[in-house]
Chains A and B, each alone.
Chain A
Amino acid sequence: MNKILKLVVALLALVFASIGLRWLVAPEGVAAEFGMTLMEGLGLSSQIGDLGAFFLSLAIFILLALTTGRRTWYYPPIILLGLTAIMRTMAWMFHGASLAVDMIAVEIIACIILYLGSIRLADED
């Protein structure tokens, strides 16, 4: 069971790392998947810088959690993904954004998987 969970957690890291690298290498395609057009100037800098760093950070935190076995490394990606889901919902409630149900679901499921990982896979507190 733990082996399967470890595999799923590693897969999450791979997916987030791929998205982060796509922001770096081929931003146009990944921007479209997130409902954005690629901006210019400062906007482009923020898109590539902030979003690339967000996804690569997620991946690195998860990889650190898996390799060190320390529970604390699971918390940053759980917080980041959880906050993303909450803020997406608030964007829908207060700013007229689309309710991105699919994306929110993915983020919540990822949070649950990481939480399970922190309980079952971590060696120590």
Chain B
Amino acid sequence: MLLALGHSSLLSAQQSPNIVLILADDLGFSDLASYGSEIQTPSITALAEQGISFTNYHTGANCAPSRAMLLTGVDSHRTGVPNIPEMIPPEQAAQSHYAGILGHNVVTVATLLQDAGYHTYLSGKWHLGQTPDKLPSSRGFERTVALADSGADNWEQKPYLPIYKKANWYADGEEYQLPDDFYSSRFLIDKTIEFIDSNRADGQPFFAYVPFQAVHIPVQAPQEFIDRYEGVYSDGWTALREQRRARAIELGVVPADTPMVQMASTADWEALGPERQAYEAKRMAVYGAMVEAMDHHIGRLVEHLKAIGQYDNTVFIFSSDNGAEAMGEPQQNSWSNRRALASQGYNTDYETLGLKGSFNAINPGFSSAAASPLAYYKFYVGEGGLRVPMIIAGEPVAIKNQLSNASTFVTDITPTILALAGTQHPHARNKGWYGGRKIEPMIGRSLLPLVEGSAGSVYGPEEAVGFELAGHGALFMGDYKIVFNRGTQGDSQWHLFNIQIDPGETHDLSAENPAQLQRMLGRYQQYVADNNVLPIPDGYKHEIQIIFNGLHHVYRDSILIFILLLLLILPFWVVYQSKRKSKRAK
């Protein structure tokens, strides 16, 4: 009943709204113009003006867990995707809930919308399973063109890392060959438009999920977009981080005087020679171009919806799967890196950077600018890894051009979409059963009260939301957050921050408020127990594990064949040698 009320009070139109869920990949907190960026994103800004922009929204720290939570409203550990399969150590992978593949104990929002009479489309990155029963065509999406891997080239059907044999694209459950004129952002919107148009006549609402490849590595963009950012980044990453912080404060995205740290991975820009500075600026120019190209194609989708008369009944949700990526090589065009990339058919030449055949990723220095004014990046649970833009907008949304700093989480998106569609999760409806199997309940909350302006928050000050990834841990409660970052960037210590006034996590309150820290640590332990979070093996490093798992995946068959071959030949070799010896003895 409440859901039905929410549905009718939000929407100006009587019918169920179309829903377009757009997910950028690795987009940093301040990468949009409306969040403080110098990158031109007019289409997203126009959407933001038609709704509400969330400035305290948290997602997962890497790809697949975030996507699993986004599409189910369930904690990543309960979906079977507590980490990406490429990063899961064998000690954890042996457990069924650490498969890194979306389990059938959860139901996707697409399945539930399909049940509610929606057409459901996916065009973009999936990364939640590759077997026929785990592809999106088996998880509630009626029409799909989906990338099963963690990423891929944006210009052609080619893997971006040697851990993949090929770029695994599927259309409607079948292997798919990309067209020759492929550029990821353009192609994904073209397919979305094609899907929408294919069922336009029947008058049913649609749910279109558009998980872009932009701006995941390899960072690539069309030349005409790159040209617009020539020279924009010549002042370097430290200046850009400060510039974005100032702009975010001006826009009200973060509090006035928000302090920020300098990440240890940020090198001294002034110490670089002019040639190196020009190269680093070009790397970032391609990044800006890739973001703008994505925005341009989002604009095409919006224009198309207007042209076919569907815009007025469409709600848009825009976000990113995690914070900015800082895995780019500090010296991308070093001799060793160029040799390694050449073996994959890539170059890193300045002139063609970002174009077809070129491999590019931004320097970690510019990653810290993409996350400005936050600390840390993707793979870490600092705010830079978890806090990303999120916008709910469209003609049916009553509130226009507002910011909300309410605590919100990726698990809130599915409940919100279900409320928009006026339907319920089957856990509530059928006592935990769906399609003859037991399913997990959602932990997220509908954000409609915030979108309608009927409430200032959907979580009480004592309600806690936890997150764990590969031994990194975080818990949010009211204005506070406790955070534990391990690995090469972290210090493996718990810290306490008030992220409402200090989103940059500069002032650790552990010593000043030990009672709050202990209380939240207790809640985190409860979260670990409730979600069966497994400990990380000693010495685990995600960078090493990705290489190990990748090599295992690519060379497993060859190694097995080699071992079997040895076993087959060995007895013949022994007989042959013993025969030779006995011959010599005679």
Q: Is A26 an interface residue (CB 8 A)?
A: yes
Overall SS of chain A's interface: helix
Q: Is A59 an interface residue (CB 8 A)?
A: yes
- In angstroms, Cα B557 to Cα A25, docked, is 6
Chain B 548-571 interface 0/1 with A at a Cβ cutoff of 8 Å (1 = within) = 000000000100110011001100
Residues 66 to 85 of chain A near chain B (Cβ within 8 Å) = 66-69
A59 adjacent to B568 (CB under 8 Å)? yes
Q: Is A18 an interface residue (CB 8 A)?
A: yes
B575 adjacent to A17 (CB under 8 Å)? no
Given known contacts A17-B568, A66-B572, A22 and B579 CB-to-CB distance under 8 angstroms = no
Q: Is A21 an interface residue (CB 8 A)?
A: yes
Q: Is B335 an interface residue (CB 8 A)?
A: no
- In angstroms, Cα B560 to Cα A26, docked, is 10
Q: Is A63 an interface residue (CB 8 A)?
A: yes
Query: How many interface contacts (CB-CB < 8 Å) are there between A and B?
Result: 36
Cβ contacts under 8 Å, A63 to chain B: 569, 572
Given known contacts A25-B560, A26-B557, A67 and B579 CB-to-CB distance under 8 angstroms = yes
Q: Is A116 an interface residue (CB 8 A)?
A: no
Smallest CB–CB gap between B573 and chain A, Å?
8
- In angstroms, Cα B568 to Cα A25, docked, is 14
- With an 8 Å Cβ cutoff, the count of chain B residues facing the other chain is 11
- In angstroms, Cα B576 to Cα A13, docked, is 14
Smallest CB–CB gap between A18 and chain B, Å?
6
- In angstroms, Cα B583 to Cα A69, docked, is 12
- In angstroms, Cα B564 to Cα A14, docked, is 11
Q: Is A64 an interface residue (CB 8 A)?
A: yes
Central interface residue in A21, A59, A66, by most chain B CB within 10 Å? A21
Q: Which chain A residue has the least Cβ–Cβ distance from B573? A: A67
Cβ contacts under 8 Å, B560 to chain A: 25
- In angstroms, Cα B569 to Cα A18, docked, is 11
B565 adjacent to A67 (CB under 8 Å)? no
Q: Which chain B residue has the least Cβ–Cβ distance from A59? A: B568
8 closest A-B pairs by CB: A26-B557, A63-B572, A67-B576, A21-B561, A67-B575, A67-B572, A21-B564, A25-B560
- Return 21 A-B CB contacts under 8 Å, by A number: A13-B569, A14-B565, A14-B569, A17-B565, A17-B568, A21-B561, A21-B564, A24-B564, A25-B560, A25-B564, A29-B557, A56-B568, A60-B568, A63-B572, A64-B572, A66-B572, A66-B576, A67-B572, A67-B575, A67-B576, A69-B579
